[in-house]
Structure 1
Amino acid sequence: MKTYNLIIADDHKMFLDGLISILQEDKRYNILFTAKNGNNIIKYLEINSDTNVDMVITDISMPEMDGITLNKMIKEKFPAVKTLILSMHNDGDRIQKVIENDADGYILKNAEKSELLKAVETIFSGEKFFSESVKSAYMNKIISNKKEEQIKLTEREIDVIKLIAQEHTTQEIAEKLFLSKHTVESYRKTLIAKLNVRNLAGLTKYALKMGYIKN
């Protein structure tokens, strides 16, 4: 019977203990090491480079080094090691990051025991495994990204949104750009409609996301 060496990273002890208990029911899985953050996992892999590690199962939200960074570093430094993300987060941004960094799987912490075991087994069979809700969130993120790519702002619209995001008043924007207050208001309404946001806070969030201003 082929056995596999696993490492687990999670800073919630109760969940970690439950995960260990589930995996140890299957005699094929040997838990080599557990840690509360990604730094300790990387150190272990570096120090024990002669030890065969088959998979790292990691949470995302952890102190010092999160699961997104940990997955990226493992794939860069130890490409033979499989990675499975096990997280409470189901937002497209995080999912996109780990998929772009070649994670082998992603399931949610509220998954059934059977799905966890299926994910591990599927990954060891050479395939990737993502739960249905994770795949759905990822596809929605891709669609959203494509829509954003299709939105083209004029240079003047970018000037206006930058100043709005920097909390300048309509009068101040008008003076800086040599426009009338009415024209600035028109730009503001156009930007809200064009970017499909609800208010000035939405415009500010978009400006930050696009790098027009620094956080």
Structure 2
Amino acid sequence: MSQLSPYRLIIADDHKMFLDGLQSILRYESDYEIVMTANNGRTVKKYLTINPDEKIDLVIMDLNMPEMDGVALNSYVKKQFPSIKTLVVSMLSDPNKIYQLIQDEVNGYIPKNAQKEELLLAIETILDGNSYFSKSIKEAYTKSIFEQKKAKPVALTKREKEILKLISEEYTTQEIADKLFLSKYTIEGYRTSLMSKLEVKNVVGLAKYAIKHGLVE
């Protein structure tokens, strides 16, 4: 992947020992030049804002940093400098943060305990125009997709919410029918439909859903 001039990198991490270690690894790689280091995202943002025409190829960043974390920094870089690649190197593997980073087009993510060889492979892969995510990060992302799906509220009609609320308040099918001036069979149809829609097995599941989503006090 060698090019005529070295790839220009910025590193942001608030742990000095890790920052020094990363510099030490990359210093012996002739393909890379470390333009600057920072201990928070805001410093990187300021540098890029002041030097918009300076060629930067890759920003390597921690996730948990003071003032401006990796999620916010990645979002800023991708919006303002889309040609700059981004790589997160972090001990954190919060599924929701990984989900957000990927939505914001981060180019790669590896854990801090990755081997030197994987770090160099990730950098090389990203600078070659591809993405790189460690196995553990891919697994956490799969989990985040599941969590996002699970957390997404199902759209219910006003009548469905009304019936769900009454079910959770332990009204019988006949009592709900009488209260809403509907037939018992109509209420049974709603109940079956709600169980299917909310992916629950019984009226207990319906009641739990209603409580969780604030449909009952």
Most deviating of 142-151 and 81-90: 142-151
Matched, 1:78 2:84: no
Is there any run of 5+ residues in structure 2 with no aligned partner, and where? 172-201
Is there any run of 5+ residues in structure 1 with no aligned partner, and where? 161-176
Most deviating of 140-149 and 47-56: 140-149
Distance 1:189 1:126 in 2: 47
Deviation digits for residues 82-134 of structure 1, max 9, x if unmatched? 00011111121011100000000011111111111000000011100011111
| Cα distance, 1:191–1:70 mapped onto 2, change above 3 Å | farther
Q: Who is 1:125 aligned against? A: 128
When the two structures are superposed, what TM-score results if normalisation uses the length of structure 2? 0.72
| Cα distance, 1:181–1:16 mapped onto 2, change above 3 Å | same
| Cα distance, 1:191–1:121 mapped onto 2, change above 3 Å | farther
Q: 2:67 aligns with which of 45, 64, 70?
A: 64
Q: Please tell me the residue identity of whatever aligns with 1:16.
A: L
Distance 1:156 1:112 in 2: 56
The percentage of aligned residue pairs carrying the same residue is 45
Q: Please tell me the residue identity of whatever aligns with 1:80.
A: S
What is the aligned length? 179
Please give the residue correspondences for 1:15-54 in structure 2 after superposition, counting only pairs within 5 Å. Answer: 15-54=18-57
Distance 1:88 1:128 in 2: 19
When the two structures are superposed, what TM-score results if normalisation uses the length of structure 1? 0.73
Q: Quick check: 1:157–1:187 contact (8 Å CA) kept in 2?
A: no
Q: Quick check: 2:168–2:206 contact (8 Å CA) kept in 1?
A: no
Q: Who is 2:9 aligned against? A: 6
* CA radius of gyration, larger in: 2
Q: Quick check: 2:10–2:37 contact (8 Å CA) kept in 1?
A: yes
Superposition CA RMSD, Å: 2.9
Deviation digits for residues 128-162 of structure 1, max 9, x if unmatched? 0011111111112213333444856642488x6xx
Q: Quick check: 1:37–1:64 contact (8 Å CA) kept in 2?
A: yes
